[in-house]
Amino acid sequence: MLQNLHNIPITTINNNRPSINKIKKNYGRLIKRLKFKFKSTNTILRKTDKSKVFHLGKVDDYTKKSDEYMEKTKAYKCLGTIDPLPDLIRRTNKYLLDLRLAKWISQKQYEQLCIQNSNDVELAHLYYLLKAHKPGTPLRPIVAGLKHPTIKISKLLDELLRPLFDQMASKTMITSGFELLKHLQEWSKSNLRQNTLFCTIDVTDLYTMVPQVEGVLSLKSMMDHMKLKQIRGLRTETIIRLSRFVMQNNYFSYNGQYYHQIRGGAMGSPLTLTMANCYMFFYEQQIIKQINNSGGLYFRYIDDIFIAINWPARHLFKQIDRWNHFDENIKLSENIGSSADFLDLHIENQDGQLFTTVYQKPSYEPYYLPYNSVHPLHMKKNIIFTMLLRAIRYCSTFQTY
């Protein structure tokens, strides 16, 4: 229904305004009926994680999973129905003013970060994306806070720190399957054997499980590692102070209640990704050293790890169990075998020969853009071009392509 309305070209809408208005009115009635149907059948409609489709489920199941997630992570403290926004605005401005008076930040930085009009800010809200591609359809929490009182501080810190992290971790971080493929092809020339194992590891609830104090300290460790005293005129001590304030003041609303996040960072806050990446960087150094000393290959994309190694499977399982005891906040779940799926890349060890192709998750929907949409023609052509280019790059044989 919505797709049919979306597919109607703008010119048609302008030329047939009365009939289109009638169609819209009918669709409006249908949507109201759908909402009533959802409510009367205790059904909920939610967008799925990492796909363009929606998921229908029972409200009770959704609520149960949310409660279980909060209980498991113990990352959220319920504040009841008292709105923390006014106090958070006051404390944010006071904290920034104190930093200004103590000359930790300049007047220009103070004016850039402070809240000058309380109507311009609002509390974040929590919602969940359903991971339909995983067993049991778990939830991924998203704290949407585009107008949160600390969002400007978080954005500034991320702009300062993310390029530093990218520089520090450039040898072990990847951002695409194609990057991994290039490294893997080079490594395979002299290291791939018939018994070579591929291992993918998922870090469970990374954003939520990183402790706030240690997470901020990992940012300090990064700046110390790079021997920095200031970044773009902002002292490292000031950056740590501001980072601590952001992490300690993640408040949001959910289901009529207000919450304070007391563990980890809000998935939706710009600083959270950089902090989680930093924390993982220092955690994984022992693992990287061990893998490199064994002639293996190690790369990470946020909370997904890829390893290629010439170890017996039993030994690799044992080592992962040992890595799981390095830090009580980091829990690893692994998949080990002669084949692996990592990001959008499928990899196989076929008797000592590397085979690769494009990987699509089970929840993948082959829908990008209606051809009769009003987007420029070059955008539509580029979608086809990039898909073909990816297939050419990823497919190791012409038959697979």
Structural domain includes residue 401: no
> Does the pLDDT of residue 150 top 60, yes or no?
yes
What is the distance between the terminal CA atoms of the chain, rounded to a whole angstrom?
35
Q: What is the pTM of this model?
A: 0.85
* Angular region, 233: left φ>0, alpha ψ -120 to 50, beta rest: left
pLDDT band for position 22 (cuts 50, 70, 90): low
Same domain, 90 and 111: yes
Residue 184 is predicted with a pLDDT of: 96
Instruction: Name the residue with higher pLDDT: 130 or 286.
Output: 286
pLDDT band for position 2 (cuts 50, 70, 90): very low
Residue 49 is predicted with a pLDDT of: 67
- What is the C-alpha to C-alpha distance for residues 125 and 141, in angstroms, rounded to an integer? 10
Which of 4-18, 183-197, 311-325 has the lowest average pLDDT? 4-18
Residue 48 is predicted with a pLDDT of: 73
pLDDT band for position 18 (cuts 50, 70, 90): low
Same domain, 14 and 102: no
Same domain, 328 and 267: yes
SS (H, E, C) 114-169: CCCCHHHCCCEEEEEEECCCCCCCCEEEEEECCCCCCHHHHHHHHHHHHHHHHHHC
Structural domain includes residue 25: yes
- What is the C-alpha to C-alpha distance for residues 127 and 142, in angstroms, rounded to an integer? 5
Structural domain includes residue 388: no
Residue 29 is predicted with a pLDDT of: 83
Residue 367 is predicted with a pLDDT of: 66
> Does the pLDDT of residue 200 top 90, yes or no?
yes
Structural domain includes residue 190: yes
Same domain, 26 and 59: no
- What is the C-alpha to C-alpha distance for residues 160 and 242, in angstroms, rounded to an integer? 12
Same domain, 3 and 148: no
> Does the pLDDT of residue 9 top 70, yes or no?
no
Structural domain includes residue 98: yes
What would the two tokens of residue 25 be?
Answer: 């009115």
- What is the C-alpha to C-alpha distance for residues 130 and 138, in angstroms, rounded to an integer? 6
pLDDT band for position 52 (cuts 50, 70, 90): low
pLDDT band for position 65 (cuts 50, 70, 90): confident
**Helix or strand (DSSP H, E) at 269:** none
Structural domain includes residue 386: no
Instruction: Name the residue with higher pLDDT: 230 or 50.
Output: 230
The two beta strands, 304-309 and 339-342, are unpaired
- Per-residue pLDDT of 276-285, as tens digits, reads 999 999 999 9
Instruction: Name the residue with higher pLDDT: 211 or 18.
Output: 211
Same domain, 6 and 64: no
Same domain, 310 and 241: yes
Same domain, 220 and 341: yes
Residue 267 is predicted with a pLDDT of: 85
Structural domain includes residue 397: no
State the DSSP code for 335: E
Same domain, 36 and 64: no
Domain that holds residue 8: 1-41
Structural domain includes residue 243: yes
Same domain, 179 and 287: yes
> What are the beta bridge partners of residue 251?
260
pLDDT band for position 51 (cuts 50, 70, 90): low
- Per-residue pLDDT of 372-400, as tens digits, reads 778 888 888 888 898 899 999 999 987 87
Same domain, 239 and 312: yes
pLDDT band for position 309 (cuts 50, 70, 90): very high
Same domain, 149 and 20: no
Number of separate domains in the chain: 2
